[in-house]
Amino acid sequence: MPRRSSGLAALCLTGVLLAATACGGSSGGGDGGTVELRFGWWGNNDRAAATQRVIDAFQARNPGIRVKGSYTDFNSYFDRLATEVAGGRAPDVITLGGAYPREYGDRGALLDLSKTGLKTDRIGAAALDNGKFGGVQYGVPTGVNAIAVVVNEAVFDKAGVALPKDDTWTWDDFKRTATELAGKLPKGSFALADPTRTDMLDAYSRQRGEALYTADGKVGITQPTLVDWWTMTLDLQRAGATPPASQTAELITQPAPEQSLMGRGQAAMQFDWSNQLTALGKAAGQPLRLMRLPGESPRPGMWLQASQIYSINARSEHPREAAMFVDFLVNSEEAGKIILADRGIPANSEVRTAVQDVLGEPEKAQATFIDALTPKAGPPLVIGPAGSTDTPKILDRVNAEVLFGRVRPAAAADDFIRQVGTAIQ
């Protein structure tokens, strides 16, 4: 699930992107009539290598179609995509997440997948609805995941701190655990990186009967909830449980798993998406585990979410072939056995069953975690309205002011609510 991304100010809002242009058949292209598709996603080198293997497998089955992959790190991906869409140069198959299917779909930039014949009957409605807005299926999920606490037990053991019981721990328990770790970890290591991110605000506020956004498209999180959150994170920073503000600002620009404190072996905990377990464990050089968020009782804030969404560019000259490729990505057991759980536990039930026996230990841990969470998860997430893709950067800016001590939590809360409200009007 995306953490931070830019807005879509670069998008043309005057109807230059018309879905009708992609509803016809395919036109020829490339050498000897070969159709060339472009496929864009975000990720690290490991994801790129696996994705290329999937592309190779698809091309072997469809010799008349050539797929050109393109990827970048998460922070750069949406900036580049906004520029490509505005310039009419977006990939044929686009990877999205969060509010982006709505943002781009509402502007006519995405094809209605229900018109392509793409099969979705093996994908659960909860995950499928992550790509459906206003009755239009703008995207299909790559897999299912959840926000979680990634834990390095070895760091806990070296510090002599007991692991909390994740079925009962509260935010006070979390704060005590993080503070205890801070007093026992070596210099340069921390209990966790600063936890302020939009998905965590959503989970934290949902536990209080709120949400980051309301169903009618307004800001749902309240000022007292934000004040409590920032009061807690400031206490963690002062205790040395999280890095100083300058290091947090640096870490924000380094989103890859291997660049994180957890990936460097310098953190005991990290709030992240469950599908990041494999990459983080590989970077850290040791097995990690997943735990539920603090404060999940009596009202759960965690939810099941499509980890990523595949959509088709409404301007694609080859919508039929693009739909064939998306079908291969989400419905093919062959692709599933290559991707495994990197993009979440497969959303297609048949693919999920097919990969079960070939999953590695981290992927099995993800599947077990999702299975255990499913009956305990809260209601579906309210996806942000148009303009909400600005929220992560707004949060980063306001959070920096708090951590550097330039703004108090109450003023920061008011400023955050005001800026987000303006962005989504």
pLDDT in tens, 79-135: 999 999 999 999 999 999 888 998 899 889 999 999 998 999 999 887 888 899 889
Q: How far apart are CA 274 and CA 341, in angstroms?
A: 9
- The pLDDT-based confidence of 386 (bands split at 50, 70, 90) is confident
Amino acid at 12: C
Please check the confidence at residue 26 and state whether its pLDDT lies above 90.
no
pLDDT digits (tens, 9 = 90+) for 142-174: 999 999 999 999 999 999 999 999 999 999 999
Q: How far apart are CA 315 and CA 15, in angstroms?
A: 12
pLDDT for 109 equals: 96
**Which of 230, 231, 241 has the alpha carbon at shortest distance from 180?**
241
- Which residue(s) pair with 137 in the sheet? 132
pLDDT digits (tens, 9 = 90+) for 185-240: 999 999 999 999 999 999 999 999 999 999 999 999 999 999 999 999 999 999 99
- The pLDDT-based confidence of 286 (bands split at 50, 70, 90) is very high
Contact 149, 271 (CB under 8 A): yes
- The pLDDT-based confidence of 14 (bands split at 50, 70, 90) is very low
Please check the confidence at residue 18 and state whether its pLDDT lies above 60.
no
Q: How far apart are CA 10 and CA 422, in angstroms?
A: 17
pLDDT for 374 equals: 87
**Which of 252, 227, 273 has the alpha carbon at shortest distance from 415?**
227
pLDDT digits (tens, 9 = 90+) for 33-54: 799 999 999 999 999 999 999 9
Which domains are assigned to the chain?
A: 19-145+305-367 (3.40.190.10), 147-302+387-424 (3.40.190.10)
Whole-model pTM?
0.81
pLDDT for 13 equals: 29
Please check the confidence at residue 57 and state whether its pLDDT lies above 80.
yes
Which position has the higher pLDDT, 349 or 11? 349
pLDDT for 256 equals: 87
pLDDT for 33 equals: 79
Q: How far apart are the first and last CA of the chain?
A: 24
pLDDT for 56 equals: 98
